[in-house]
Structure 1
Amino acid sequence: MKKILNTLYTHPSALLLFMQLASIIIHPSLESVKYNQAIFSCFNVAALSLAVWVVNRSPAMNWVAWVLAVPAISLTLLYVLSGNMHYFMWAQILESAMYFYTAAGLVMYMFNDDVLTRDELFAAAATFTVLAWGFALIYSVCQYMYPGSITGSTNSGEPRTWLDLMFLSFTILSSTGYGDVMVVHPVAKIVSIFQMFIGLMYMALIVSRLVSLTTAARKE
């Protein structure tokens, strides 16, 4: 047990990446379950809190993380108890802020030294998924505030599912196109523009960083 805990402590980014990818795989099977997105929100916020606590040792950084996490979980629980979507909307806003905060923390973690570790490789992948999650939550808020702002080739008049929003977020962040889900409202388009820019800059930044560290390690 101690060995397992030590492995998780030394590879927090791998744990975060695994939990996020696993949630994508199991989410379709739970779409018919009531409050399934709320359950996943609490689960993902808890996972992010753990990752931020492990990666960023600074007490100030931990304080910011918990200030975002605790209200997000509390508002999600209020939504489950009351069914009031306003609670869930604010929970998603706080959760998206925490995802972006975690992404910033992971980037600082990767650039903290000139030694390329295995966990930093996992962090590079985890940061991408964290950014995708953060923007998917923003799209969900846009969809709630501006009905019809995000549409698709099927059931265009209905709100997009969480899986649809995740698909949209990953396609825009990776600059592979919209697919069968697209943004039509100006606010949603502005969000997608920023996501495209951040996605391209992140890919260029991380690739150059990994290449430079790998080259330096081989020279040594």
Structure 2
Amino acid sequence: MAWWRRTLAVLKANPSGALLVVQLLGILLYAFVDDTPANSIGRLALSLFGMLVVILALAVVRATPTYTWLGVLIGVPAVILTIVDWAVAAAQPWHLISDVVHVAFYGYTLVGLLRYMFADEEVTQDEIWAIGATFTVAVWLWAYAYSAVQGVVPGSFTAAVDPLAQRTWLELLFLSTTTMTSTGLSDVVPVKPVARSIVMVQQIAGMLYLAVAVSRIVGLTINRRRATREDS
């Protein structure tokens, strides 16, 4: 059991790293269930996997000044609605309600992670992991926002394959990732005014995140190394 205790110690010391790994695994797993029915066993398993992400996110934010009770207040309904959304096969209005609550929860988590990174002038290993975790949390947030938009305004997004269909979760997550990274490689395109506005807001937010958060962490890291050399 020594390896298990060591693993728990690493996870406890690096909650942001654990959150990042889980988010990246989620991206890979969605590829295997994207074409299955909304109430399939695979989607249920992935919903439970999403619950693990919620728990990890709460663990990360709890270490910040952000109020824990607020995370629970938003996180518990997010978990419940994840299960309800699967049970009703993503039927409206439950799917839209679930999307809106998930946007609120991931927005809360995003703010908590940003406060975590900006809380002090020392750069820890977990704060480095938090750069990636914050980025993936933002990707999830905007993907849920896109899902909510197409729930309110059907046909908000089109794609090369079946242009008139509602976009799947993986397609929206792909759009969010390509928009956030500014690669512009997505074949999913916003065609309605509201959708285009949301995409533009994400583009601006992604640019600001890279300019402010990443540069600050890198700058603090350089200053720490410089101070270490001067002391030696």
| Matches of 1:97 and 1:27, distance apart in 2 | 22
Please list the CA deviations of residues 138-191 of structure 1 after superposition, one character each: whole Å capped at 9, or x if unmatched: 101111211110011221011111111111111111222253111011111111
Give the aligned partner of residue 174 of structure 1: 181
Q: Which moved more, 1:21-30 or 1:175-184?
A: 175-184
Distance in 2 between the 1:112 and 1:3 partners?
A: 27
Question: 1:95, CA displacement in angstroms?
Answer: 0.8
- 1:17 correspondence with 2:20: yes
Q: What one-letter code is carried by the residue in structure 1 that aligns with 2:124? A: T
Letter in 2 for 1:26: L
Aligned to 1:48: 54
One-letter code of the match for 1:23?
A: G
In structure 2, do the counterparts of structure 1 residues 207 and 106 end up closer, same or farther at CA, with 3 Å as the change threshold? same
C-alpha separation in 2, matches of 1:179 and 1:60: 34
Instruction: Indicate the structure (1 or 2) with the bigger Cα radius of gyration.
Output: 2
| 1:26 CA drift (Å) | 1.6
Query: For 1:29, what is the secondary structure of its paired residue?
Result: coil
In the alignment, the residues of structure 2 paired with residue 193 and residue 38 of structure 1 have an alpha-carbon distance, to the nearest angstrom, of 32
Distance in structure 1 (CA, Å) of the matches to 2:65 and 2:217: 28
1:219 aligns with 2:226: yes
Q: Percent identity?
A: 36
Q: How many residues align?
A: 220
Aligned counterparts of 1:112 and 1:59: Cα–Cα separation in 2? 8
Contact map agreement 2:64 2:113 (CA 8 A) in 1: no
The residue matched to 1:34 in structure 2 has which SS? coil
Cα contact 1:49–1:66 (8 A) shared by 2: no
Q: Look up the match of 2:79.
A: 73
Distance, in Å, in 2 between the alignment partners of 1:61 and 1:44 is 22
Counterpart for residue 92 of structure 1? 99
Q: Give the superposed CA RMSD.
A: 2.0
Contact in 1 for aligned 2:51/2:79 (Cα 8 Å): yes
Change (3 A) 1:106 1:138: same
Looking at structure 2, the residues matched to 10 and 198 of structure 1 have their Cα atoms a distance apart, in angstroms, of 29
The separation in 2 between residues aligned to 1:216 and 1:64, in whole angstroms, is 35
CA pair 146-80 structure 1, distance change in 2 beyond 3 A: same
Q: Paired residue for 2:108, among 101, 113, 123? A: 101
Unaligned runs of 5+ in 1: none
- Separation of aligned partners in 1, 2:220 and 2:164: 49
CA distance in 2 between counterparts of 1:185 and 1:142 reads 10
